[in-house]
Amino acid sequence: MAEPIPASTTGTSQHRAARDLSRWLVHLARTPDDLAGILVRGTIQARNSFGIARPHRRLLTRQDTVCFTEMPVSELGRMASRGRRWGVGFDKEFLRDRFDAQPVWYLSDPSPQLRAVQQMLDERIAAPGGGIDPSDPYWRLTPFIDPVRPRGSARPNDWRWEREWRVVGDVSFELSDAAFIVWSEGDDLLWDEQLTVGSLFVSHHGDEFWCDSPLEALDAQLGKMLDQLKERYLPVVDAGLPWDSEEHEYAPVNEILEACDVVEETFESFPVPVKDALADALVDIGGDLWCRAVDSWRLDDE
């Protein structure tokens, strides 16, 4: 059973008791369905551009990023005001090593530093011929630079309190890479280090349902994926395939697939535990041998 986020999650390897520091980076989602989608896909998609080159995203590549907060996990309730109460956390060094995660560089607007960065941007946008060199190392910096304008200014922009880090491009991971998940229950934020994927249970009446995952939304996502598989594939015992009595196997006029192959064919890039759970579910429902529905010999009017 999950508990409220403990204060012991704060601190770093250098300063273990520091309540203002964190070894984690957390990506936060707006809904439990959004979080469940991230977990079953094993991917946080970089859907939006950030940084000072954002207005020129049509001219540039590799400006779409995934955002994280370095805020101590025990303080994540501050993000609730922005409607983000569900998330997945990773060790900061894992994201630095695997995805080159970097903190956002907030530059005061106006300031000599921001003027220098903006001047380099303007010179590249206005270069003769209007072409942009994607190999220019400058574009590796722009997703991590944002201006800061005070709240009392004409165009306020100050998100330093989020302590944001970013990764350019999608973040794909195995469930074992995730350190914990966070979700909302009433006014509390709960966390769980034992990230599990639901298992299929079948009642005596034949009703199928998932359980044992920490999020109901995750169960629902897995159920939808299972329904998708059952629409595309049939157990061979239900497919009407001809049986070769001499060879003691189904006639090779159709391709016979094991449950794990069915899942791999449809959800190849998904995390291994997700695929394993779906394969186990298929075995529970119809055995280990399946075929594509288009290859079925079963007649609809029978």
Q: Over the stretch 14-40, which tens digit does the pLDDT of each residue have?
A: 888 888 899 999 999 999 999 999 999
Residues 187, 203, single domain; the answer is no
Residue 302: inside a domain: no
**Span 133-139, average pLDDT:** 88
Residues 165, 273, single domain; the answer is no
> Which position has the higher pLDDT, 181 or 206?
181
Given this model, what pLDDT does residue 301 score?
41
Residue 290: inside a domain: yes
d(CA 33, CA 35): 5
d(CA 26, CA 66): 11
Residue 235: inside a domain: yes
> What is the DSSP-derived secondary structure letter of residue 174?
-
Residue 301: inside a domain: no
Residues 249, 280, single domain; the answer is yes
d(CA 34, CA 133): 35
Percent of the chain with pLDDT over 70: 90
DSSP-derived 3-state class of residue 75: helix
Residues 11, 137, single domain; the answer is yes
Residues 88, 104, single domain; the answer is yes
Given this model, what pLDDT does residue 242 score?
67
Q: Give the global pTM.
A: 0.88
Residue 170: is its pLDDT beyond 50? yes
Residues 281, 138, single domain; the answer is no
Residues 116, 256, single domain; the answer is no
Domain enclosing residue 264, as ranges: 199-295
Instruction: Give the number of domains in the chain.
Output: 2
Number of H helices, E strands in the chain: 6, 20
Beta strands 188-192 and 243-244 are unpaired
Domain stop point among 159, 192, 225:
192
d(CA 178, CA 185): 21
How is residue 245 written in tokens?
């009595």
Arithmetic mean of pLDDT over the chain: 87
**Span 114-134, average pLDDT:** 86
Given this model, what pLDDT does residue 246 score?
65
Residue 80: inside a domain: yes
Residues 228, 171, single domain; the answer is no
Domain stop point among 150, 166, 192:
192
Residues 245, 139, single domain; the answer is no
Position 169 confidence tier, pLDDT thresholds 50, 70, 90: very high
Residue 300: inside a domain: no
How is residue 192 written in tokens?
């769980």
d(CA 189, CA 267): 31
Residue 300: is its pLDDT beyond 50? no
Residues 162, 283, single domain; the answer is no
Domain stop point among 192, 218, 233:
192
Identify the CA nearest to 199 among candidates 257, 287, 274: 274
Residues 71, 217, single domain; the answer is no
Residue 234: inside a domain: yes
Which range (59-68, 113-122, 255-264, 278-287) has the least confidence?
Answer: 59-68
Residue 120: inside a domain: yes
What does the CA dihedral 147, 149, 154, 159 come to, rounded to 10 degrees? 90
Residues 248, 181, single domain; the answer is no
Residue type, 136: D
